Chains A and B, each alone.
Chain A
Amino acid sequence: AEQWHMPTPYGDANLPTQIAYDFAEDIKQGTDGDIDITVHSGASLVKHPEIPRAVRTGQVQLGEIFIGIMGNTHPVFKHDNIPFLATSYEQARELWEAAKPEVEKQLKKEGMALLYTVPWPAQSLYTKTPVNSLKDLEGLKMRAYSPSTSRLADLMNTTPTTVQVPEIPQAFSTGIIDAMITSPSTGANGQAWDYLSHYTDIKAWIPKNVVVINDRALRRLTDDQRQVIFDAAAKAEAKGWKGVRATAEKDTAKLAQNGIEVSQPSEELMNDLQKIGDIMIKEWEQEAPNEVGKILSNYR
């Protein structure tokens, strides 16, 4: 039996990690134990930023990555982090179908093959005060962690401020930041009600995790084994896209239960945000007109 290792970035309570465990189990059963995958969750084996390299060079056979983390490698990896390009799970699915060929092409260049994706719940706005229009945000300090979130903060007339994830609670309590955009799950898991009070469901973008496998490890297998892996991957993918809706609902409800005011965005706010989105989509296209152009024309 072959002993394989699969590092994942997030802890066991998260949907992608639970799916990864099932995925490993399916493969073990499908190959009669010939391929035995140990899932190392929560970056316990390899730190998140190092996972792409570890898979590419064969230090581990496969691994899970937040796609956006590879955004600096090629703009196609940013496709699910562009604000207001895809704001429902249907749209996100369509965008992924449109982006898939280009993403696979780039992964191939890195010596990796795509297995499946798991989307995160849509990213929405957390604040300490109600937000009805962009004016309500003016001058606030908003958390930024990438060039695109920083650009977004600028366009929203807020001040982009960098804060590392573990320091978010303290940063909110002490006023280092006043607003952030993240998923309802992050807020629910981090008990955001301890330090903020308003959640506006703007569904800015729907990012994904991707599970990739080392090309050579895949090619060394028999046809049957490869088929087992692809079948398990298809199953995992379906599970992820179905499960994310339930997760989003559950976690949004949890926010409300704990006293955060959950509200739908006003029409005015959404119109203003869509304008910002259009600017950012154009800027993204300019980064790599060929590949991004193809994604956008496939998508529309």
Chain B
Amino acid sequence: MELTVLSLVLAASMILMLSLGVWVALTLVGVGALGLLISGNDQIGLLFGTSSWGASTSWSLTALPMFIWMGEILFKTRLSEDLFKGLAPWMEGMPGKLLHVNILSCGIFAAVSGSSAATAATIGRMTLPELKAQGYSERMSVGTLAGSGTLGLLIPPSIILIVYGVAAEVSIARLFIAGALPGLLLVAMFMGYTMVWATIFKDELPKTREQNLGLLVKLKALKLLLPIVGLIIFVLGSIYTGFATPTEAAALGVFGALVLAAATGSLSLSSFKESLLGAVKSSCMIGLILVGAHFLTLSMGFLGIPRELAAWIGGMSLSPFELLIGLTALFVILGCFLDGISVVVLTVAVVMPVVQQAGIDLLWFGIFIVLVVEMAQITPPVGFNLFVIQALTGKNILYVAKAALPFFLLITAALITISWFPQIVTFLPRTMSQ
């Protein structure tokens, strides 16, 4: 069968299965198997075994259940409530108030965690219930979380930058540093948008009377933040003092959260069990989707669809600017059906030579790819942040996707900004090499 027809058949069957209510993970396995079946592969079962074993034992993924569990423990200890009480007086003057807590906590947590799923799951577990209780627009709470959860990939450490760095032979240390400024840029853009939104849609925010809190009150409130700030410093510090690697830091985070819970008296056998089962539920969901995504990736590798598409774009002899637009379109379309890391893995071999030939800086391109992958995390039907937030809130994927749409556009704007001003990416790594 011709590749174009095959791609359309597979995309249609994915949409059909999903809308019929087949679980996302099983849909991915089903579409992967269908692709191999049509191509006449007679080893589908064995391939499934190999791919799921490879996908589920990856050492760098061990951080994921750790971070999710940490989020569950913090949620149970009501430290999340303190997080808001401590920050609220400081956010008084800012339009959008506590919505910024979502963005800022994601930004800070992203400095600890390398994945966007873990970032969205951990922070969302703490902030969403609280924002809802205080009467904030659910749509905006969900949107800010979906958007800023993707910061996990851009702000170092980052799983995707490691994958790219290994594939493109670009120093991972440099990539990590290059991600810092664009990460801050995104945080600023998200906060700016939230302020504008809050000024226009005043009704969707809780009504509070204007109060001018004295500095003393504000400083007192900060005391509430001490435990959680302590935890973050503990985790970040363990990474930067050489006590632990980023993956190991996740386990330290859980340990620290347990100690905090015990110290505040909210650790009991039953809350321990509850937090653990909660972590199991989320990480099993993500784990099975990763297994499905990996199998679909394998199937796509055999069929060569992403490779052909990338080669097609590469063969059009475009100018660097056109090439970037073409690649963005390609990644966004592929990102609708595959998860972001798979898109990079499947296309990098074909894309890299073309990019290099066009004279595009490989370091800059790494950050470009991360931004595009971040977009893929929040586009339906397959987007990890969407799944995580659906699991947290019970809201439908399309609802979450719609709420995240403004943030998708903001990331696009960031993409344009770094294309216009590549220095945002290259400035820090250059200073480093001097």
Query: Is there a direct interface between A and B, measured as CB atoms under 8 Å apart in the complex?
Result: yes
Residue ranges of A at the interface with B (Cβ–Cβ < 8 Å): 5, 11-13, 38, 40-42, 44-47, 49-50, 53-54, 57-59, 163-167, 169-171, 173-176, 189-191, 194-195
Q: Which of B169, B171, B239 sits near A169, CB closer than 8 Å?
A: B171
Do A59 and B345 form a contact, CB below 8 Å, given A176-B242, A194-B173? no
Rounded to whole Å, the gap between the CB of B9 and the closest CB of chain A is 19
Chain B positions near chain A (C-beta within 8 angstroms): 43, 46-47, 50-51, 53-54, 58-60, 157, 162, 165-174, 176, 239-242, 245-247, 298, 301-302, 304, 345-346, 348-349, 352-353, 432-433
Q: Is the beta-carbon distance between B349 and A173 smaller than 8 angstroms?
A: no
> Given A45-B301, A58-B43, A174-B240, do A166 and B54 touch, yes or no (CB 8 Å)?
no
Q: What residues on B are CB-neighbors of A41 within 8 Å?
A: 349
A101 to B59, CA, bound (A): 35
Pick the most buried of A11, A41, A45, A59: most chain B CB atoms within 10 A of its CB: A59
Cβ distance A191 to chain B, nearest Cβ, rounded Å = 4
| Given A167-B247, A170-B246, A175-B242, A40 contacting B173 (CB threshold 8 A) | no
Nearest-CB distance from A135 to chain B (Å)?
A: 24
- Report B-chain residues with C-beta under 8 Å of the C-beta of A176: 242, 245
For the complex formed, measure the closest distance between the CB of A166 and the CB atoms of chain B, giving whole angstroms: 4
For B245, give the chain A residue with the smallest CB separation.
A167
A196 to B235, CA, bound (A): 25
Q: Which residues of B contact A194 (CB under 8 A)?
A: 171, 173-174, 432-433
Contact B245 A164 (CB under 8 A): yes
| Nearest CB of chain B from residue A145's CB, rounded to whole Å | 12
CB-based nearest B residue for A175: B242
Q: Are A12 and B349 in contact (CB under 8 A)?
A: yes
Residues of A within 8 A of B353 (CB): 12
What are 21 contact pairs spanning A and B, CB under 8 A?
A: A11-B166, A11-B167, A13-B169, A42-B349, A44-B301, A46-B51, A46-B298, A47-B54, A50-B51, A50-B53, A54-B50, A59-B43, A164-B247, A166-B162, A169-B171, A170-B239, A171-B242, A174-B239, A174-B242, A190-B169, A194-B432
Contact status A44-B345, CB under 8 Å? yes
Q: When chains A and B are docked, how far (Å) is the Cα of A13 from the Cα of B170?
A: 11
Once the chains are docked, how many angstroms separate the CA of A45 from the CA of B43? Answer: 14
User: How distant is the Cα of A169 from the Cα of B198 in the complex, in angstroms?
Assistant: 43
Chain A neighbourhood of B167, CB < 8 A: 11, 42
Which A residues are in CB contact (< 8 Å) with B53? 50
A174 to B53, CA, bound (A): 33
Option from B54, B170, B304 in Cβ contact (under 8 Å) with A38: B304
Contact pick for A173, options B50, B60, B173, B346, CB 8 Å:
B173
User: Cα distance A272–B306 when bound, in Å?
Assistant: 53
CB within 8 A of A50: which of B50, B171, B245?
B50
Interface contact A191-B50, CB-CB below 8 Å: no
Is the pair A53, B50 in contact by a Cβ cutoff of 8 Å? yes
Q: What is the interface of chain B mostly: helix, strand, loop, or mixed?
A: helix
CB contact under 8 A between A59 and B50, given known A166-B165, A167-B245, A167-B246 = yes
Given contacts A59-B43, A174-B239, contact A166 B171 (CB under 8 A): no
Contact (Cβ within 8 A) B50 A190? no
Q: Which residues of B contact A195 (CB under 8 A)?
A: 173
A165: chain B residues within 8 A (beta carbon): 166
Query: Are A59 and B47 in touch, CB under 8 angstroms?
Result: yes
- Among A41, A166, A167, which residue has the most Cβ atoms of chain B within 10 A? A166
A contact patch SS: loop
Cα of A47 to Cα of B433 in the assembled complex, Å? 33
| Contact residues in B for A50 (Cβ distance below 8 Å) | 50-51, 53-54
A46 neighbours in B (Cβ, 8 Å) = 50-51, 54, 298
Contact call A166/B60, Cβ cutoff below 8 A:
yes
Q: Contacts A40-B301, A50-B50 known; A171 to B245 CB distance under 8 Å?
A: yes
Contact B241 A189 (CB under 8 A): no
B residues in contact with A44, CB < 8 Å: 301, 345-346, 348-349
Can you add 18 more A-B contacts, CB < 8 Å, to A42-B349, A170-B157, A194-B432? Answer: A5-B302, A11-B167, A11-B348, A13-B169, A41-B349, A42-B166, A42-B167, A46-B50, A54-B50, A164-B247, A165-B166, A166-B162, A166-B172, A169-B171, A169-B172, A170-B173, A190-B171, A194-B433
Nearest-CB residue, chain B, relative to A167? B245
- State in angstroms the CA–CA spacing of A5 and B39 once bound together: 13
Distance of A118 Cα from B239 Cα, bound (Å): 37
Instruction: Give the docked Cα–Cα distance between A59 and B239 (Å).
Output: 40
Which chain B residues border A13 with CB–CB below 8 Å? Answer: 169
**CB-based nearest B residue for A41:** B349
List residues of chain B with CB within 8 A of the CB of A38.
304
Closest 6 CB pairs of A and B: A174-B242, A191-B171, A169-B173, A175-B242, A47-B54, A45-B301
Chain B residues within 8 Å of A40, by CB? 301, 349
Cross-chain contact B166 with A166 (CB below 8 angstroms): yes
A152 smallest CB distance to B (angstroms): 22
Complex: how many Å from CA A43 to CA B56? 16
Q: How far is the CA of A165 from the CA of B59 in the complex (A)?
A: 12
- Which A residues lie within 8 Å of B162 (CB)? 166
Look across to chain A and name the residue whose beta carbon is closest to the beta carbon of B157.
Answer: A170
User: Is A170 a contact partner of B46 (Cβ separation < 8 A)?
Assistant: no
Most chain B CB within a 10 A radius of its CB, from A44, A49, A57: A44
**For the complex, what is the distance from the CA of A219 to the CA of B170, rounded to whole Å?**
41
Contact indicator A12/B172 (Cβ below 8 Å): no
Q: Which residue of B lies closest to A190 (CB)?
A: B171
Contacts of A45 in B (CB 8 A): 298, 301-302
Contacts of B51 in A (CB 8 A): 46, 50
What is the CB-to-nearest-CB distance from A259 to chain B, in angstroms, rounded to a whole number?
9
Chain A residues in 8 Å Cβ range of B432: 194
Distance between B309 CB and nearest chain A CB, rounded to angstroms: 15
Q: Which B residues are CB-close (under 8 A) to A59?
A: 43, 46-47, 50
Collect the chain A residues with CB atoms within 8 Å of residue B168's CB: 11
| Bound Cα distance A39, B352 (Å) | 15
- If A11-B169, A50-B50, A50-B54 touch, does A191 touch B174 (CB 8 Å cutoff)? yes
Cα distance A167–B348 in the bound complex, in angstroms: 21
